A and B are shown apart, each in its own frame.
Chain A
Amino acid sequence: MEHTAQHTDVPALRDTETVIATEQLNVYYGDFLALRNVNMAIPERKVTALIGPSGCGKSTLIRCFNRLNDLIDSFHLDGRVTYYGQDLYQDVDAVQVRRRIGMVFQQPNPFPKSIYDNIAFGARATGLTTDLDELVERSLKRSALWEEVKDKLKTNGLSLSGGQQQRLCIARAISTEPDVVLMDEPCSSLDPLSTLKIESLIRELAEEYTIIIVTHNMQQAARMADYTAFFNAEATEDGKRSGYLVEFAPTRKIFDQPAQEATRNYVNGQFG
């Protein structure tokens, strides 16, 4: 079981606060153990990338962070997920969790509403009494979309291009002032130019937010992440794939001197 050993080496965590931490986290769908024994501490106001092959549980993991997995009937977990020390699964209202922890999805998924209403949705749903015009402008500026849409805020969000839609989704996610923004492969359906725009946007956002991003693209992780966690998967007896954390370290270390053989093989593209 040498290759299942977990290795986390994040020295910088000493200078920066931990936002989200997992302790002996096991995630199940029914009887199936999708992700096992994850221990990691995600630092504040950094970009943390989760990389690894399909089926290694990266997406499953970030959906534990905002309790989106609650929507799946068969989902349950043991171990702990904490947010600044508060257990997210003990005496906590999932709706409150999701207001503090925003999410951007793989497919751009604007609401079939105007650009304005997309951004205002969160404030309206949570009953915030803020100046909506100001909120919309601020959110769109921070997501680098304002200049492109300021004259057509009333048009449907679905009429934008894919890259614009994704930036709209980012604007929507940060409109409720979350501390953490989770991103589940936000660029995987976009062209290279839109991808670059979103990547530089994410770098900027990291000054104010903690970003946790799942990506298939190792170069993307290398370009923008401060920390990288490599997950791997192994086949179980019944042919499903069960994921586990191999190594979590500063991105540079993951790519230059990984502690684990599996990590080295994966980042060098020699992965089975």
Chain B
Amino acid sequence: MTATDYRTRADRARRAIADQTSGPGYFDLFWTGVAGFFTLLALIPLVLVLAYVVFRGFSRLNWAAFTQLPPPPLAPDQGGFANALIGTLIMVGIGALVSVPFGVLAAVYLSEFSQGQVPRWIRFATNVLSGVPSILMGVFIYGLFVITTGTYSAVAGGFALGVLMLPIIVRTTDESLQIVPKQVRWAAIGMGASKFQTVLRVVLPAALPAIATGLTLAVARAAGETAPLLFTALFSQYWLDSLLQPTASLSVLVYNFARVPYEGQQRLAWAAALILVGIVMLTSILSRWATRKQIY
């Protein structure tokens, strides 16, 4: 290669760089526009749902809504969904109590201790479980629990939600644990820590923010579920005074009151729907906040 060759190439390159005639990339611009447009289309349902729920539900939110029992059919703008709110919180709580220890421990086993083909099959089973329609979970707990105890109950509803949360918790915890770099595990093992100490003192603390994110997402998912509760907790017009009796929940209240011809109950259903959306959004924001503290 001679110096002249190099000059020629350099000149050509400089001219190409300076060349403005090819325009500012219309092709790129076009496809960016198309992708942006469809993104907006995809967001429309979310915005419309939120806006409409706020529009219909907000005006009905008053002190009574949070403190009183559901109104009788012909009592416009009286009563509230206090028992349903409490029911939802209790059942999600029971669900978490059941599923979090099992789910987290299963994920620890899966990610840290299992060998060979075992983890593959467990992960596959978990995926299948998370794909099972939630109404089937309800029927399953109905057969297992409601029939044997002879009553619809908060405990049955909580278990149904727990079964629903389990695969989500296993999967997100499993993923959070696997993100922790293997060098950090080596460091602990290399320090003379046993496998168990390594997991308990290094891997789990490092993964904790990510695990918390997964747990909050599972809770948000469970709080909005209706189908599994229809078969297990049913509904109640009254205050909850035992965990072994039919229990109201926000989602079932929306389902019931949205279908009746009485305007008072319909308006309460809208308000309950707004609170339900609020709970789900709040937990999602909480999980975002936990993610912010993520280490890896």
Residues of A within 8 A of B (CB): 66, 68, 71, 73, 95-96, 98-100, 102-103, 105, 107, 109-113, 121-122, 124-126, 158, 169, 172-173, 176
Given A125-B197, A125-B201; A109-B186 close (CB under 8 Å)? yes
Using Cβ atoms and an 8 Å threshold, which residues of chain A touch B205?
A: 112-113
- Across the interface, A98 reaches (CB within 8 A) one of B115, B184, B192, B201, namely B192
Chain B residues with CB below 8 A from A169, complex form:
187
The residues of B that contact A71 with a CB separation of less than 8 Å are: 186, 189
Known: A71-B186, A105-B186, A105-B187. A112 touches B192 (CB 8 A): no
* Cβ of B73 under 8 Å from chain A: no
With A109-B181, A111-B202 as given contacts, are A122 and B186 in contact (CB-CB < 8 Å)? Answer: no
Q: Are B186 and A126 in contact (CB under 8 A)?
A: no
Give residues of chain B (281-296) contacting chain A, Cβ–Cβ below 8 Å: 295-296
- Could you say which of A96, A111, A176 contacts B188, with CB atoms under 8 Å apart? A111
28 A–B pairs (Cβ distance < 8 Å), ordered by A: A66-B190, A73-B115, A95-B193, A95-B194, A98-B189, A98-B190, A99-B191, A99-B192, A100-B192, A102-B191, A103-B190, A105-B183, A105-B186, A109-B181, A109-B187, A110-B187, A111-B202, A111-B206, A112-B296, A121-B193, A121-B201, A122-B191, A125-B188, A125-B191, A125-B201, A126-B192, A172-B191, A173-B190
Chain A nearest CB from B146 CB (Å) reads 45
Describe B's contact surface by its main secondary structure. Answer: helix
Q: How far is the CA of A66 from the CA of B202 in the complex (A)?
A: 20
CB pair A95 B187 closer than 8 Å: no
The 8 Å CB contact of A112, one of B115, B186, B194, B206, is: B206
| Closest B residue by C-beta to A178 | B192
Q: How far is the CB of A200 from chain B (nearest CB, A)?
A: 23
5 closest cross-chain pairs (CB), A and B: A99-B192, A103-B190, A109-B183, A125-B193, A98-B192
Q: Please, which residue of chain A has its CB at the minimum distance from the CB of B195?
A: A95
A111 to B205, CA, bound (A): 10
B45: min CB distance to chain A, Å:
40
Chain B min CB distance to A71 (Å): 7
Neighbour of A68 across the interface among B189, B194, B296, CB < 8 A? B189
With both beta carbons as reference points, the residue of chain A lying nearest to B182 in the complex is identified as A71
CA distance A173 to B186 in the complex (A): 12
In the bound assembly, the distance between CA atoms of A109 and B206 in angstroms comes to 13
Q: For window 178-226 of chain B, which residues contact chain A by CB distance below 8 Å? A: 181, 183-184, 186-194, 197, 201-202, 205-206
Q: Which residue of B183, B197, B295, B296 is within 8 Å of A107 (Cβ)?
A: B183
Q: Which chain A positions have C-beta within 8 A of B184?
A: 109, 111-112
Query: Which of B192, B295, B296 is close to A95, meaning CB atoms less than 8 Å apart?
Result: B192
Chain A residue at minimum C-beta to C-beta distance from B116 = A73
Residues of B within 8 Å of A100, CB to CB, are: 192
* B295 CB contacts on chain A under 8 angstroms: 112, 158
Contacts of A113 in B (CB 8 A): 202, 205
Which B residues touch A173, using CB under 8 A?
190-191
Closest beta carbon of chain A to B196's beta carbon, Å: 10
A30 and B270 alpha carbons, distance in the complex (Å) = 64
**A248 → B minimal CB distance (Å):** 24
Interface residues of B in 146-189 (CB under 8 A from A): 181, 183-184, 186-189
Q: How far is the CA of A103 from the CA of B183 in the complex (A)?
A: 12
CA distance A172 to B206 in the complex (A): 18
Q: Say yes or no: B197 contacts A68, CB within 8 Å.
A: no
| Complex: A107 Cα to B197 Cα, angstroms | 22
Q: Report the minimal beta-carbon distance from B57 to chain A, rounded to whole angstroms.
A: 43
Which chain B residues lie closer than 8 Å to A176 at the CB level? 191-192
Contacts A111-B202, A112-B205, A158-B295 given; does A102 touch B190 at CB 8 Å: yes
List the A side residues contacting B181 at CB < 8 Å. 109
**Which residues from A are CB-within-8-Å of B187?**
103, 105, 109-111, 169, 172
